[in-house]
Amino acid sequence: MPEKEDESPKPSALKDLDQRLRQARGTEEQFDSSEQRGNALGLAFRLVTELVAGVVVGGVIGWSLDFWFGTTPWFLLIFFALGSLAGILNVVRTAQVMNAKQALDDDVVGRAEKQDTQDT
C-alpha cells in the first residue's frame, strides 16, 4: 500500500528511482491526454446519447401517463417537449465538463500545479 511507502525513510538510490519514475509517469500522462483529445467521435457520441436519452425518457413518461389516464396525446406532447429540454440541459452540462477538462489539459501551468498537489 502506498501510504506505508510514504512513511518509510528513502535511501538516495530509491529517491532517485522515485524521481525518474515520476518523470516517466508525467510524460505518459501527457501522451494519454493528447490521445484522448483525438477521440472526437467518442465525445460527439456521448453528447448525442445524452440528447436522445432525454427525448426518450420524456416520451416514455408522457406515453405512459396518457396510457393510464386516457388523455392521448396531451401528456405525450408536453413530456416530449420537457424531455427535449432535459436532453439539451444534459448536453450543455456534459459539454461544460468536457470544456473544463480540456482547459485543464491545455493549461500547462495548471497541470504542473495539479501534479504538485498530488505529489505532496
Partner 1 sequence: MAESNAGGVGIDPMHQFEIRRYVELDFLGVDVSFTNSSLWMVIAVALITAFTTLSMSGRALVPGRWQSAAEMTYEFVASMVRDNVGTDGMRYFPFIFTTFMFVLFCNMLGMIPYSFTVTSHIIVTFAMAVLIFLGVTIIGFITHGLGFFKFFVPPGIPAVLLPLLVVIEIISYLTRPISLSVRLFANMLAGHTMLKVFAGFVVLMGIWGVLPLVFMVALTGLEILIAFLQAYVFAILTCIYLNDALHMHH
C-alpha cell at 103: 482547459
**Least distance in angstroms from the C-beta of 28 to partner 1:** 13
Q: How far is CA 102 from the centre of its chain?
A: 10
Cα separations in angstroms, 86 against 45, 50, 83, 120: 17, 9, 5, 41
**Least distance in angstroms from the C-beta of 60 to partner 1:** 9
Within 55-74, the residues that bind partner 1 by CB under 8 A are 56-58, 61
- Asked whether position 89 contacts partner 1 by CB under 8 A, the answer is yes
Cα separations in angstroms, 105 against 16, 40, 46, 81: 27, 15, 19, 36
- Asked whether position 52 contacts partner 1 by CB under 8 A, the answer is yes
Q: How far is CA 74 from the centre of its chain?
A: 36
**Least distance in angstroms from the C-beta of 23 to partner 1:** 19
- Binding mask 21-50 vs partner 1 (x if CB under 8 A, - otherwise)? ------------------x--x--xx--xx
Q: Which of 66, 75, 76, 79 binds partner 1 (CB under 8 A)?
A: 79
Q: Which of 22, 37, 93, 101 binds partner 1 (CB under 8 A)?
A: 93
Residue 117, classified by CB atoms within 10 Å of its CB into exposed (0-12), middle (13-18) or buried (19+), is exposed
- Asked whether position 17 contacts partner 1 by CB under 8 A, the answer is no
